[in-house]
Amino acid sequence: MVEKIRSSSSGLDTPREARNRILPRLRPNPDRFGSGTENIARFMGTPQFLFYMTVFVVVWLTWNTIAPDNLRFDSAALGFTALTLMLSLQASYAAPLLLLAQNRQDDRDRVSMREDRHRAERNLSDTEYLTREIAELRIAIREVATRDYVRSELRSVLEELLEASDGQDPAQQKKTRKKAPENTASLPRAQQGGRNTGP
């Protein structure tokens, strides 16, 4: 008895059996369906649609007012019931189509905003990296000997040599004087080298 009750009752832990459907489940392609609804919504927001709709309503009203009674399909005495029904049906379908198109546009805007945010973050990180590299290059350039620094060092060395030659014996001064033109002749070359090594 208990076994029959357990077998007949289905709990939450047992999967539900598939029910036989009378109508097949429709699974349209969302991208194709969405693009179709967007095309319809775009057409409904154009002046051409308003023009065609106006022409249709005018022709409908004119035909059902002027045409013979046996050819009329909508009675003017009843207030053009068929036309009112068609316009309300068109409006009832237009609202969901517009909402679907608006939802797709919102999704696209959200995706583009996310991509723009990621792009801005990448640009910010690249800018920070370049700023750090430029700061390191500036620090490294400060440690490099410039043209003025090389000239000042050469002048100080030349002054030391001249002072040392003044304190020597006359024989040694002759030797240093003979060497001095060589040093002075080599000075412009050093200066030219300092100019080439300048920033």
Give the residue-averaged pLDDT of 188-198. Answer: 44
Q: What angle do CA 189, 193, 195 make, to 5 degrees?
A: 115
The answer to whether residue 107 is domain-embedded is yes
Q: With cut-offs at 50, 70 and 90, classify the pLDDT of residue 48.
A: very high
Question: Encoding tokens for residue 174?
Answer: 């002759």
Question: Residue 18's pLDDT band (boundaries 50, 70, 90)?
Answer: low
Is 127 within a domain? no
Short-list 189, 191, 181, 190, CA closest to 161: 181
**How far apart (Å, rounded) are the C-alpha atoms in residues 194 and 191?**
5
Tally of structural domains, the chain: 2
Distance of CA 13 to the CA centre of its chain: 47
Contact in structure between 44 and 98 (CB atoms under 8 Å): yes
Percent of the chain at pLDDT > 90 equals 19
Residues 33 and 102 in one domain: yes
CB 76 within 8 A of CB 65: yes
Q: Are residues 49 and 102 in the same domain?
A: yes
Residue 2: what are its φ and ψ, rounded to 5°? Answer: -65, -35
Percent of the chain clearing pLDDT 70 (strictly above): 70
Residue 42, domain extent? 28-114
- In this prediction, residues 108-132 reach a mean pLDDT of 93
The residue with tokens 């349209």 is: 28
Q: Amino acid letter at 160?
A: E
Confidence of residue 27 (pLDDT cuts 50, 70, 90): confident
Check whether 37 has a pLDDT greater than 90.
no
Note whether 106 and 177 are same-domain residues.
Answer: no
